[in-house]
Structure 1
Amino acid sequence: MLSIENAVQTLKEKNIRLTPQRHELINILSKGNKHWTVEELYQLLNESMPSVSITTVYNNINLFCELGLVKEIQFGEALSKYEWKKEDHYHIVCSECGEMVDVWYPALKEVEVFAQSISKFDISSHNLQFYGTCSNCEQK
Structure 2
Amino acid sequence: GCRHVVAGLKPGTAYMFAVCAENESGWGPWVSSPAYGLTRAAPPTRPTGLVAVRATVDSVTVRFRRPFSNGSDLTGYELTYEDEERQRHAISFKLDGGKNDKESAKMHSVSNELSTCTVQGLPAGSILHDVRVRAK
Q: TM-score normalised by the shorter chain: which range applies? A: under 0.3
Structure possessing the higher relative contact order (Cα contacts under 8 Å, 6 or more residues apart):
2
How high is the TM-score relative to the length of structure 2? Answer: 0.24
Structure holding more strand per residue = 2
Q: Which has the higher Rg, Structure 1 or Structure 2?
A: 2
Q: From the two aligned structures, give the one with the greater helix fraction.
A: 1
